Structure 1
Amino acid sequence: MDRLTVRLPPDLIRRFDAAAAGRGGRSRLLRSLVEGAAHAALPETAAPSVSRLDAKLSLRLDPDDLALLEAEAARAGLSRTQWTVALIRRRLHERPQLSPSEAVAFVGIQRELRRIGVNVNQIARALNTAVLDGKVLDLEIAQLADFAAEIRAHLDGLQDAFRGNLDYWSDC
């Protein structure tokens, strides 16, 4: 038999319980209301509702496991549901799952890499269009090498961050 779960505000559930008391209790009244609605003719124009999420997964954990889950989720800056979904998605899709703080950090790294890339393009354009004396050319080439080293350092940091993220979710 399928189960139907309904969340109601406390005032509404108290009034429903009062109505259900004389009709065999909550389950019996709910069942009769659902049967009545199922027998009612639906309008022909009613389109099936499309939900972004098609299924719900419920877990029952003992209090100790729930406390550990909540602590781990809080440490990652996520709710317990977000943490659990991230864990499942990591295992199913084998992609990094970013917490809000990690996402902000990655956006910052992207911004810096773009800024450096613009500078490198400007230097390369200047080197291609100008005939420079030996000293000036050496300075430009040195600056270009510094930018290349900075880009490599940022890319290494980005790779380390992704590797750490993947390792975190793989160890769970």
Structure 2
Amino acid sequence: MAMFAFQLPDALAARFDAMAVQGRSKKLRELVAGAVGDATAVPATGLRRKSVKLTLRLKPEDMTALDAAARKEGMLRTDWMLALMRRRLFGRPKFGRKEELAFYAVQEELRRIGVNLNQIARAMNTAVMPGTVLTSEIRQVEDFRGELRAHVRGLKDAFQGNLDFWEVEE
């Protein structure tokens, strides 16, 4: 199956996400199928792997609490339950839509920093004259390195916070 990837300005992406309530991928598949005039190209069941259905019977107060917890995280109740189970069974994090969007923003910032570092390194390589010290450029590279480390620490903290959130105290 083909994979498409492209970038959008943050504001446009946020507007699209608000419209694509069932998820980006599903909405993009629908738009592409509509653009080429083939509505049958989008599978009715989506592209998910086969799964097994699990049914739970809950007391009304348990369902109310579950709905409130899921809503608080901006998740559907099924996604919330899956996140809890996967954390306990496999130790994997599961993020809600707002966390996913935050990670996309961090990814974009890290890309921007990488581009800036490449530009600085290129300028330093072409501007160096024998016996010359580029103090301000070296300081700027050090500043970018610090910023990059802070973003990486932020990612690590976010993942650990997600894992801690889903951890069940015993």
Residue 92 of structure 1: how far off its partner (Å): 2.5
Task: Give, in whole Å, the separation in 2 of the partners of 1:97 and 1:64.
Answer: 25
TM superposition outliers: structure 1 runs of 4+ over 6 Å: none
Task: Tell me by how many angstroms 1:104 deviates.
Answer: 0.5
Question: How much has 1:93 moved relative to structure 2?
Answer: 2.5
In the other structure, the counterpart of 1:76 is 73
Matched, 1:118 2:109: no
Alignment counterpart, residue 168 of structure 1, candidates 162, 165, 169: 165
* % identical equivalent positions: 54
Change (3 A) 1:159 1:59: same
TM-score (normalised: structure 1): 0.65
Residues 1:158 and 1:54: Cα distance change in structure 2 (over 3 Å)? closer
State how far apart, in whole Å, the 1-side matches of 2:93 and 2:120 are.
35
140, 144, 147: which one aligns with 2:144? 147
Deviations 1:63-96 (A, max 9, x none): 1111111111111111111111121122222211
Q: How many residues align?
A: 120
* Residue pairs, 1:101-116, within 5 angstroms: 101-116=98-113
- What TM-score do the two structures reach when normalised by structure 2? 0.66
Q: Within 5 Å, give how 1:1-172 maps onto structure 2.
A: 52-132=49-129, 133-134=132-133, 137-171=134-168
Give, in whole Å, the separation in 1 of the partners of 2:90 and 2:108: 27
RMSD of Structure 2 on Structure 1 (CA): 1.6
| Structure 1 residues 9-38: Cα deviation after superposition (integer angstroms, max 9, x where no partner) | xxxxxxxxxxxxxxxxxxxxxxxxxxxxxx
- Distance (whole Å) between structure 1 residues aligned to residue 146 and residue 101 of structure 2: 24
Instruction: For structure 1, list consecutive stretches of 5 or more residues without a partner in the other structure.
Output: 1-50
In the TM superposition, residue 122 of structure 1 has moved relative to its aligned partner by 1.5
Shift of 1:60: 0.7
Tell me how far apart the structure 1 counterparts of residues 51 and 101 of structure 2 sit (CA, whole Å): 29
Of structures 1 and 2, the larger Rg is shown by 1
Q: In the alignment, residue 54 of structure 2 is paired with which amino acid?
A: L
Write the deviation string for residues 81-114 of structure 1: whole angstroms up to 9, x where unpaired: 1111121122222211010110000011001001
